[in-house]
Amino acid sequence: MKILIDAGHGFDTPGKQSPDGLLKEYAWARDIAKRLEAKLKQLGFDAQRITPEENDVKIATRVSRINAICNSVGANNVLLISIHNNAAGHGTWGTGKGFSVFVSKNASANSKKCAAMFTDEAIAHKVMGNRSIPVGKYWTWSWTKSDIGILKNSACPAVLTENMFMDNKEDCSFLLSEAGKQTIVDLHVAAIQKYVKSL
Ligand SMILES: [Zn+2]
């Protein structure tokens, strides 16, 4: 089983920071991706970051990296996690807070099962904030005709974690704290362990 970790945006992705500029999504996601990779390897998993560089890597490039690995080891022997921060996106501090997990509209049963395990672990780690829990315990981009490219086009089961709101003051300081980072890594590890065990 190969666990692929995508760190989302690059330093050159526009926007994507907290209103005070202290949390930069690309840097935070890379920090978490490195911690997650290290922890998974320590536990004996075959984990790999697919965006080791600091710049924004085009979705198509990321997908081709992922699918090359899927082709060589079999798509069902691969799991992709894409790490992000949520934002209400008004450029000011907002009230939306908490964790959510997304799958594509064409998601496989395994993607949905894995996402539900992430929601269960987010509940267990008390980071749901004021997010509602959808039927099935996963979100999709239901409000638009478009879809999440990296999830839609990757051949393997794939989920995208929106790790709380970088434009919520409480969430933001939690995300920047050592305890907060550890909590987010722990919940990812627990969900991945459950998913792998379920196969
Ligand atoms: Zn993002």
Regarding pTM above 0.85, the answer is: yes
Distance 51 CA to ligand 1 centre (A): 14
Cα(102) to centroid(ligand 1), Å = 12
Give the distance (Å) from ligand 1 centre to CA of residue 162: 7
Note whether 147 and 141 are within 8 A (CB). yes
CATH number, domain containing residue 184: 3.40.630.40
89-127: pLDDT as tens digits: 898 999 999 999 999 999 999 999 999 999 999 999 999
pLDDT at 4: 98
DSSP 73-122: H-GGGEEEEEEEEE---SSS--S--S-EEE--TT--HHHHHHHHHHHHHH
Give the Å distance between the CA of 45 and the centre of ligand 1: 25
Confidence band of 139 (pLDDT split at 50, 70, 90): very high
d(CA 45, CA 29) in angstroms, rounded, equals 20
pLDDT above 90: residue 160: yes
**pLDDT for res 13:** 87
Count of domains forming the chain: 1
pLDDT at 15: 84
Please write the tens of the pLDDT for every residue from 64-78: 999 999 999 999 999
| Mean residue pLDDT across the chain | 97
Residue 55 CA to ligand 1 center (angstroms) comes to 14
Is the pLDDT reported for residue 174 higher than 90?
yes
Mean pLDDT score, 72-89: 97
Looking at per-residue pLDDT, the higher value among 148 and 11 belongs to 148
What spacing in Å lies between the alpha carbon of 13 and ligand 1's midpoint?
9
Expressed in angstroms and rounded, the spacing between residue 16 Cα and the centre of ligand 1 is 7
Could you tell me whether strands 46-49 and 2-6 are parallel, antiparallel, or unpaired per DSSP bridges? parallel
How would residue 195 be classed by pLDDT, with cut points 50, 70 and 90? very high
Determine the residue type at 118. F
Q: How far is the CA of 163 from the centre of ligand 1 (A)?
A: 9
The CA 146 to ligand 1 mean position distance, Å, reads 16
Model pLDDT for residues 8-59, shown as the tens digit of each residue = 889 888 889 999 999 999 999 999 999 999 999 999 999 999 999 999 999 9
Cα–ligand 1 centroid distance for 7 (angstroms)? 9
pLDDT given at position 14: 85
Q: Residue 74: which domain range?
A: 2-198
pLDDT at 84 over 90: yes
Residue 78: its pLDDT value, please?
98
C-alpha of residue 84 to centroid of ligand 1, in Å: 4
